[in-house]
Amino acid sequence: MAAQAVSDRAGAIAKLADLLAHKRQPVAFLTGAGMSVAAGIPDFRSPGGMYDTLRPELLTATAAERRAMASDPTAVVSWELFQRNPLPYLELRRPFMIRVLGDRAADAQAYAPTLAHFFMRLCHDKGLLRRVYTQNIDGLDYKTGIPADKMIAVHGSLGRVECERCGAPYPSAGSVAALKTNIKDIYGLDPDAPAESRGIPCGACGAAAVKPATVLYGRALPREFFRHKDTDLADLPLLIIAGTSLTVFPAASVATDAPAQTAKAVFDKVPRGSGGEALFVQGDCDESFLDLCRECGWVEDLRQYRPLMAAQSRALLDRA
């Protein structure tokens, strides 16, 4: 069933503010790509995104591997390819990974969380946050300061680096340097990049299988997703679904499996099916969460995070 708008957008926001600010109901979030739009994060599946602009001929791969990627762009992020050849994955995502893993204090180009992300941090600070289930791999949720045990990156995260074979963590401080030193730049952005790529070896097992901790196609989702989901949903008063099409399962099951007594709200530009009736807040995620902050009386609380926000989010908050 599609999300059902109450009489108007303002009415939906007022109902949510009553649950959060006045009744202080615990809330969980299921988030998608729309949460990160204001950060400038590219949506891989949309026109102009990674899959749409994939150029296999530029990647370090065999002719057969290039044909496979041309036929099915998801092959570039598959376990089947990575276990044979890790270089296409790393080459394709090199600039994105550097901006995600980078520290804003040292690199002005590093990605920063949005106002929408910091609304979740505000819920945590007010003792209302049960869990964040994010489908995004951009790692921005982890840059908000929300404790890691309150977040489940359903598809993994670029915010952590580890060995795909043995699972050993790779030092975060050295990951950006390793990418810049070992992986060629197919986009022509870095004149200091090497001409040829070589894998990044794991310090524990020695395999050249170091990569961000994203879930490759053909690999299992994190165990904590299945361990926590049913418990989190069992008595959940409020679920906010933001910036996701709800078409990718099992992540979308957070919405469809929520019990009937859970109030659900969908924040998106178009109504989405949520497995039952839901409040619908139409519009850009940053603008919608700012409006909810206003209704809750939390705008001044939100301003404390301004220095950590993406530039577009800071500008929106400055106009509030």
- Where along the chain do its domains lie? 9-40+112-156+221-318, 56-109+165-208
Task: For residue 5, count other CB atoms closer than 10 A to its CB.
Answer: 16
pLDDT at res. 21 = 97
Label residue 8 by pLDDT band (50, 70, 90).
Answer: confident
Label residue 1 by pLDDT band (50, 70, 90).
Answer: very low
User: What pairing do the DSSP bridges indicate for beta strands 129-134 and 279-282?
Assistant: unpaired
How many helices (H) does the chain have, and how many strands (E)? 11, 8
Quote the CA–CA distance of 69 and 50 in Å, as a whole number: 12
pLDDT digits (tens, 9 = 90+) for 217-272: 989 898 999 999 999 999 999 999 999 988 888 989 999 999 999 999 999 988 76
Highest mean pLDDT among 24-38, 169-183, 276-290: 24-38
pLDDT at res. 6 = 43
Of the residues 22, 117, 124, 155, which is catalytic?
Answer: 155
Checking if the pLDDT of 3 tops 60, the result is no
DSSP annotation of 154 reads T
Task: Tell me the average pLDDT across 138-147.
Answer: 92
State the residue for tokens 């276990």. Answer: 83
Label residue 277 by pLDDT band (50, 70, 90).
Answer: confident
pLDDT digits (tens, 9 = 90+) for 58-101: 999 999 999 999 999 989 999 999 999 999 999 998 988 888 88
Structure tokens at 143: 């840059």
Label residue 57 by pLDDT band (50, 70, 90).
Answer: very high
Structure tokens at 27: 């809330």
Highest mean pLDDT among 33-37, 155-159, 303-307: 303-307
> Is there a catalytic annotation at residue 22?
no
pLDDT at res. 201 = 94
pLDDT at res. 273 = 61
pLDDT at res. 135 = 94
Task: Indicate the range of 60-69, 179-188, 274-283, 285-294 predicted with least confidence.
Answer: 274-283
What's the fold here for domain 9-40+112-156+221-318? Rossmann fold (3.40.50)
CB 159 within 8 A of CB 139: yes
Label residue 102 by pLDDT band (50, 70, 90).
Answer: confident
Task: Tell me the average pLDDT across 173-201.
Answer: 93
Backbone φ/ψ region at 264: left (φ over 0), alpha (ψ -120 to 50), beta: beta
Checking if the pLDDT of 7 tops 50, the result is no
pLDDT at res. 302 = 97
User: What pairing do the DSSP bridges indicate for beta strands 129-134 and 27-31?
Assistant: parallel
Q: At what angle do helices 285-296 and 9-17 cross, to 10 degrees?
A: 50
Checking if the pLDDT of 53 tops 90, the result is no
Task: Tell me the average pLDDT across 149-162.
Answer: 91
Task: Indicate the range of 3-7, 122-126, 137-141, 302-306 predicted with least confidence.
Answer: 3-7
Can you say how many angstroms the Cα of residue 42 is from the centroid of all Cα atoms in its chain? 11
Query: φ, ψ for residue 214 (rounded to 5)?
Result: -90, 155
Structure tokens at 193: 């990049």
State the residue for tokens 């979740």. Answer: 120
- Amino acid 41 reads I
Checking if the pLDDT of 18 tops 60, the result is yes
pLDDT at res. 5 = 43
